[in-house]
Amino acid sequence: MSDVKVKICGLSTEETMEAALEAGADMVGLMFFPKSPRHVSLSKACKLADMARGKSEIVAVTVDIDPDGLSRIRELVNPDIFQFHGSEAPEALAAAKVMQGARVMKALSVAEREDLERAHYYSIVADWILFDAKPPKGSELPGGNGVSYDWTLLKDLDLKKPFLLSGGLDPSNVADAIRQSGVSAVDVSSGVEREKGVKDSELIRAFMAAAKSA
């Protein structure tokens, strides 16, 4: 078994949360973005977070949310990490770390090598960087679109902070992605769904097995 960390993102049911936890997910992501088919209410998120607490790191995924919204999530769900998946500036991450007393992760869109440059600014503040594919034209979702990019762009990237590879991963290609990129952490959402926004327990287990054995 490898020591690759795996984040299963956009979980929204107790059954699929259970599958992710039993399969050994290192991080579980709860989506707080009403436009997303994976969005969960605060009350639902509380139940799911309670299942995961102490077993996996709970990541609250947000998109350009205001400080009051962050505080409500902090108060009710108490995540380990806030993920910022919008156009948030490094200063917003720094403020959230202080005000919410939690670690922060910044998602950045990648299509070519130049897109990695911004990561150095964010890595000063962020505890994790997540490299996702650029969304297709016209998509309202910043992530979870099932599109990929050249994984070799991340090879030998020296950020001084841990980072995850995301975008277009599924059980059939994750091992190859890990080999090509050399990353030690991966993130999946649409690649373990049977239809948009609906996770599949079998696909979660298959992804976990493939990533951990890479």
CATH of the domain at 64: 3.20.20.70
Q: Which residue is listed with tokens 């054995």?
A: 213
H and E: helices and strands count for the chain = 7, 10
Identify the domain containing residue 168 by its residue range: 5-212
Number of compact structural domains in the chain: 1
Supply the pLDDT for residue 149: 83
Q: Give per-residue burial for 198-210: e unless 16+ CB within 10 Å, then b.
A: ebbbebbbbbbbb
- Is 132 considered catalytic here? yes
Catalytic residue, candidates 26, 132, 170, 187: 132
Write out pLDDT tens, residues 58-109.
Answer: 999 999 999 999 999 999 999 999 999 999 999 999 999 999 999 999 999 9
Type of residue found at 192 = V
Tokens for 152, please give them.
């070799």
Q: How far apart are CA 46 and CA 108, in angstroms?
A: 27
User: What pLDDT, in 10s, does the model give residues 146-155?
Assistant: 567 889 999 9
Lowest mean pLDDT among 8-22, 54-68, 128-142: 128-142
- Is this structure's pTM higher than 0.85? yes
- The C-alpha torsion from 193 through 195 and 15 to 1, rounded to 10°, is -10
pLDDT, residue 138, reads: 62
Q: Token pair 């964010």 is at which residue?
A: 122
46 tagged catalytic? no
